[in-house]
Structure 1
Amino acid sequence: MKLPIICPSCDHTLNVSQMKCPSCKTEVSGDYELPVLLKLNRDEQDFVLNFFLSSGSIKEMAKQAGLSYPTMRNKMDDLITKVEQLKNNL
C-alpha cells in the first residue's frame, strides 16, 4: 500500500499521527511532520533513489532512461528546486 502524503480534501501535505511496531505492537501517537523526501511523489522518490544507485551520475541515469543528458539535468534541477522549497517550508 502506498503511503498517502497529500490530503484528498484540501491538497495540503499530511502529517503522521501514529506508528506501530509490527513485532511488539507498541504504538506511538502524536503529530509529526513527514521528512522532506517523503513529501515527494513516488516518481520523484524513484528519481532520488536512481540517482543514489547510479552513484550520483546524471549521465548514467540518462543512459539508463534513454534520455539526453540535458533532459535528465533539467529533471534534476526541477527536483532540486522542489526540495529546496519543501525544506524552506519546515
Structure 2
Amino acid sequence: MVCKMSKNELLAIPKVCPVTGESLYVSELTSAKGEVVIRGKFALPEQDELSEEMRDFLVVFLRARGVISTMEKELGISYPTVRNKIDALLEAMKLEPFKHDKKSEAKAEDRAKILKQLEDGEISAAEAKEMLKKAGAK
C-alpha cells in the first residue's frame, strides 16, 4: 500500500498496519530535499508507541516540570491518581523508577494526603500543621 502526498506534508506514523493489524517499523528515511534516502529497519521511538492519553499526560508532566500538585490542578485528579498514571507511563515506556528511600517516599505521600485533606476542607489549618509535624515535615 502506497500513500501519495505532497513533499511538504508530513503524516503521523501509524502504530499498526491498517490492513493486517500487525506492528510496523520504519524502513526508509528521506532527507528534507529528497536527495538522500536511507533504507533499513528502524524502531519507532518509545513515546510514539504510547496511547494518545499517555502522550497527553506526558506533555502535562513535562509542562508541570514533574510537580505533582500542579498536575493535580491541571488535570483535575487526585495525587494517588497522578501517581498511578506516572507508574502506568513508566511501565508503558518499559522504565524502572529510580530506587530511593521508601521512608522518604511514604512521608511525602503522607504530607500530600494531609495537604489534600486541608484543601478539601476535611481538616483545619491547625490540624494540618499538627499532622505535618507528626509526619516529619519541616
Name the TM-score, length of structure 1 as normaliser. Answer: 0.75
Matched positions, count:
83
Residues in 1 aligned to 2:46 and 2:83: alpha-carbon distance in whole angstroms? 21
Matches within 5 A, 1:34-49: 34-49=44-59
Could you say which structure has the greater relative contact order, defined with CA pairs below 8 angstroms and 6 or more residues apart?
1
Give the secondary-structure state (helix, strand or coil) at the position aligned to 1:84. Answer: coil
Q: Choose between structure 1 and 2: higher strand proportion.
A: 1
Larger radius of gyration: 2
Are 2:20 and 1:29 aligned? no
Aligned to 1:20: 30
TM-score by length of 2: 0.52
Unaligned stretches of 5+ residues in structure 1: 86-90
Instruction: Please give the secondary structure, in 2, of the residue aligned with 1:59.
Output: helix
How big is the alpha-carbon RMSD for the aligned residues of Structure 1 and Structure 2?
Answer: 1.9
Structure 1 residue 3, shift from structure 2 partner: 1.6
Structure 2: gaps spanning 5 or more residues: 1-10, 96-138
State the percentage of identical aligned residues. 33
